[in-house]
Amino acid sequence: MTTEVDFYELLECERTADDATLKSAYRRLAIKYHPDKNAGCKEHEDKFKAINEAYDCLKDPQKRAAYDRFGHAAFRNGGGGGGGHGGAQDFGGFSDIFESVFGEFMGGRGGRPNLRGADLRYDMEVTLEQAFHGHETEITVDVSGVCDTCDGTGAKPGTHAKTCQQCNGHGKVRAQQGFFMVERTCPICHGAGQVIAEPCRDCRGEGRTDKTKTLKINVPPGVDEGTRIRLTGEGEAGARGAPSGDLYIFLHVKKHGLYQREGTSLFATAPISFTTAALGGEITIPGLDGEKHVIRIAPGTQSGREIRHRGAGMPVLQGRGRGDLVIRLDVEMPSRLTARQRELLEEFRATETGEECPEATGFFAKLKAALG
């Protein structure tokens, strides 16, 4: 099981972004995460490598077209969602696209249709806490599985498929049309190269039947919105014993009541009293890790100030360390005062010199000067 992050998400771009936007985003992120600028930071080093991989794909029109259509599967074992159980492979370029479009008439390299099962998609929602700690769960999916009666061969038990006499097992037949020799999929065996005289009664020669499967999903700590988990071979079963497709789990993170997430950083807004802002103090914030994080507030803190608590954010996906917890302070003015509190504030106002709030004093001084 592998976890894959969308290339556009890595570059912080929309899927409709043009080449200039992609290039600009890549340069900005490459500078930000370059190893020379972040020596010894494994998280930034991994991010830098991932950003380069993403841009290397999307800057090439052919690779980008393949990625937009098939995702990461475009670069495994020939691309296009084709068969594969491990191993990455670059997209072959224009020749592969040409063959995929015209191979039916011009004769492809393989000579056989791709009987591999289709890839499937499953959307799963997780909470921010589950994304933080990791999560194990089970899902139920309806798929075409290998026929138990014929073990996926498509033939009646005790019988076997025979070589197609029309194409002699090649899966394709040729015909002369004017000056051209045209090659097409064999109409008898449909490209399989073999025919089944006695099909299995349960799957009718397909080698697969509809099934319901229960799968255990292990969501690693640090996943984010759009993270994909690939379960190799858990997609649709291939026809007549061909390899099965893959199942892709697309993760969606629910909104949290307190925290907002940006990458590995967690943001929260904390209201504080104006006396705490003026005199200083402490507030305690409960973290997703179960710890209580003490945030110290300096005297004279202004509303909107952000205090960064290192290492209290989200875990790095498939890496080490954690991001930061960022608390935005919102100074709250009292809406109701007792008579004594109002009296004290009046006494304070009577002692003000203007130096207590230099920004306000400076603003009104500029305003006065502007008005002559």
Q: What per-residue string of b and e applies to 143-169 under the rule 16 or more CB within 10 Å gives b?
A: bbbbbeebebbbbbeeeebeebeebeb
Residues 232 and 323 in one domain: no
Give, to the nearest 10 degrees, the angle between helix 61-70 and helix 42-58. 100
- 157 part of a folded domain: yes
Cα(284)–Cα(299) distance, integer angstroms: 17
Residues 337 and 320 in one domain: yes
Query: What pLDDT, on a 0 to 100 scale, did the predictor assign at position 169?
Result: 84
Query: What pLDDT, on a 0 to 100 scale, did the predictor assign at position 110?
Result: 43
- 209 part of a folded domain: yes
Query: What pLDDT, on a 0 to 100 scale, did the predictor assign at position 264?
Result: 92
Cα(13)–Cα(7) distance, integer angstroms: 9
For residue 26, give the H/E element and its range: helix 19-33
The parent domain of residue 151 ranges over: 115-161+196-253
Residues 249 and 267 in one domain: no
Cα(167)–Cα(41) distance, integer angstroms: 60
- 41 marked as part of a ligand binding site: no
Query: What pLDDT, on a 0 to 100 scale, did the predictor assign at position 76?
Result: 62
Q: Are strands 194-195 and 180-185 parallel, antiparallel or unpaired?
A: unpaired
Residues 152 and 245 in one domain: yes
CATH number of residue 216's parent domain: 2.60.260.20
Would you state the torsion angle of the CA atoms of residues 155, 204, 143, 76, taken in this order, to the nearest 10 degrees?
A: 50
- 150 marked as part of a ligand binding site: yes
- Domain boundary (187, 219, 253) is at 253
Domain count, the chain: 2
Residues 266 and 330 in one domain: yes
CB 132 within 8 A of CB 289: yes
- Domain boundary (253, 268, 293) is at 253
- 13 marked as part of a ligand binding site: no
Residues 290 and 361 in one domain: yes
Residues 240 and 150 in one domain: yes
- 186 marked as part of a ligand binding site: yes
Query: What pLDDT, on a 0 to 100 scale, did the predictor assign at position 293?
Result: 94
Residues 222 and 314 in one domain: no
How is residue 92 written in tokens? 């072959």
Residues 153 and 242 in one domain: yes
**Which residues of the chain, if any, have pLDDT below 50?**
77-112
- 215 part of a folded domain: yes
Residues 213 and 270 in one domain: no
